[in-house]
Amino acid sequence: MADRLRVCALYPDLMNIYADRGNMLMLERRCAWRGIGFELTAAGLGEPVDPDAHDLFYLGGGQDRDQKLCAQDLVDTKREALHAAADRGAIVLGICGGIQLLGDHYELGTERVPGIGLVDLHTVRSIDGSRLIGNVAIEVQLPGLDGPRTLAGFENHGGRTFLATGEQPLGRVLRGHGNDGRSGVEGVRRGTVIGTYLHGPLLPKNAWFADWLLATALRIEPAALAPLDDALEDAAHQSARHAAGV
């Protein structure tokens, strides 16, 4: 097993309106409890990233103004590196605004905000300004796990995200709105590139998913991770499921 998890947080000062730092803290603690090192690097506007220097790249959500700044910077300074990282099997995780920037583009009225094209999707801002808000639960099936699992969280997005034909969602909506409020699917997953609207933050409510990300980033089977006493984490997960009505 690798002796450390190397994480690159993209724009943590601008894309962090949904308690996204809690996700990084969750990964750090679960590494520490297992004796695995944790290295966190931030990459902001104008700063290039090394595709080989990190096991997991993380992009959270932000306000429209900040998201547009980050979108152009991603295209200008980080797109090729993130494609190279994904091609070699690094995790690229985008949450809320992050999923929108992983795709082709985000339509804000007459303005088209570019994405980096790691997955084939596009997002359109609701014409009437309505938002998809509430507790949500989805059923997912991931490599290395026995059977489907449930992810629970909170969604709050004005954009409607549409997957291209053949693109795989992260999961099936059990409760909540999902990508567009109609399709019954949530998020996206292409190999180790993952996008979702679930936050609140996501990982402290779903310790099993944090471990799956950790194991996949380190290129080991989830079952190879040392077990932890997850009584509190399991209670948080059950509370999030209950809030979603699952």
Domain boundaries, the chain: 4-244
CATH class, domain 4-244, is alpha beta
Query: What is the percentage of the chain residues whose pLDDT exceeds 70?
Result: 98
- pLDDT(115) > 80: yes
What one-character-per-residue DSSP string does 195-237 give?
EE--BSSSGGG-HHHHHHHHHHHHTS-GGGSPP---HHHHHHH
- pLDDT(1) > 70: no
> β-strands 149-157, 132-140: how paired?
antiparallel
Q: Per the structure block, which two tokens stand in for 214? A: 């950790």
If one counts every other C-beta atom within 10 angstroms of the C-beta of residue 111, the result is: 11
What CA–CA distance (Å, rounded) separates 8 from 84?
14
Active site residues: 96, 199
**What pTM was estimated for this model as a whole?**
0.96
Q: Per the structure block, which two tokens stand in for 157? A: 């997005």
What CA–CA distance (Å, rounded) separates 116 from 82?
9
If one counts every other C-beta atom within 10 angstroms of the C-beta of residue 147, the result is: 5
Identify whether the C-beta of residue 7 lies closer than 8 Å to the C-beta of residue 58: yes
Identify whether the C-beta of residue 120 lies closer than 8 Å to the C-beta of residue 139: no
Residue 220: exposure state from Cβ atoms within 10 A (0-12, 13-18, ≥19): middle
* pLDDT, tens digit, 9 for 90 and up, residues 128-164: 889 999 999 999 999 999 999 999 999 999 999 999 9
Identify whether the C-beta of residue 156 lies closer than 8 Å to the C-beta of residue 133: yes
What CA–CA distance (Å, rounded) separates 228 from 205?
15
CB contact set of 105 (below 8 Å; sequence gap of 6+)? 112, 113, 114, 115, 122, 123
- pLDDT(17) > 80: no
* pLDDT, tens digit, 9 for 90 and up, residues 63-87: 878 889 999 999 999 999 999 999 9
